[in-house]
Amino acid sequence: MLDNVIPISSPMDLVNFIASPPILLVSNYVDRASFSLYGSLMLYHLWKLRNEIVFAGKQIDHMQLHQCIFKAFKDHSAPWASPRTDDMLHDNIPPKTPDLGWTKPNTDTTRSNLASCILGVATSPDNEVIFSWFSKASTTSPLQAEGQAVLLALSITLDRGWH
């Protein structure tokens, strides 16, 4: 990558780039949402594969990885067809029902001096992503952003009746 075009020098820069791509690169709302969704799913699946390689000795199957990322993107991209301007959490997404009745929400925040973002995914017991979300936080304080992230994850979990 060229540092002057896409300046990424740390993992945090990469997360910020995916969560909030430069307007010059992706200018329209739906494309920005799709870019962030695809990037988030790509990072999730790469990290999941990394853990399977390190801890379970799994071999890399590039085609299967590509298919998993593409399938997850296809499953989660339909809600972006009708954008909302207030945030990127869509209440009209029909969630998948976890097979064993349990859902694990994972959430995190990223922040700069100007803004904070909340990112999250909900996974089933077999680690399949069943729902994902992204929202701007109303603070630049790391502790407050983390608190808002937990509150949002709990709200989503309760609203959908997940255990």
Q: What is the pLDDT of residues 64-110, one digit of tens each?
A: 888 988 888 887 775 544 444 444 455 555 555 555 667 888 888 88
Mean pLDDT of the 7-36 span: 80
Question: What are the contacts of 135-140 at 24+ separation with CB within 8 A?
Answer: 135/87, 135/88, 135/89, 136/87, 137/109, 137/111, 140/111, 140/112, 140/113, 140/114, 140/115, 140/116
Whole-model pTM?
0.47
Domain residue extents for the chain = 11-159
Nearest to 32 by CA among 14, 16, 19, 13: 19
**What's the number of CA atoms in the CB half-sphere (13 Å) around residue 4?**
0
Residue 25: Cβ within 10 Å count: 12
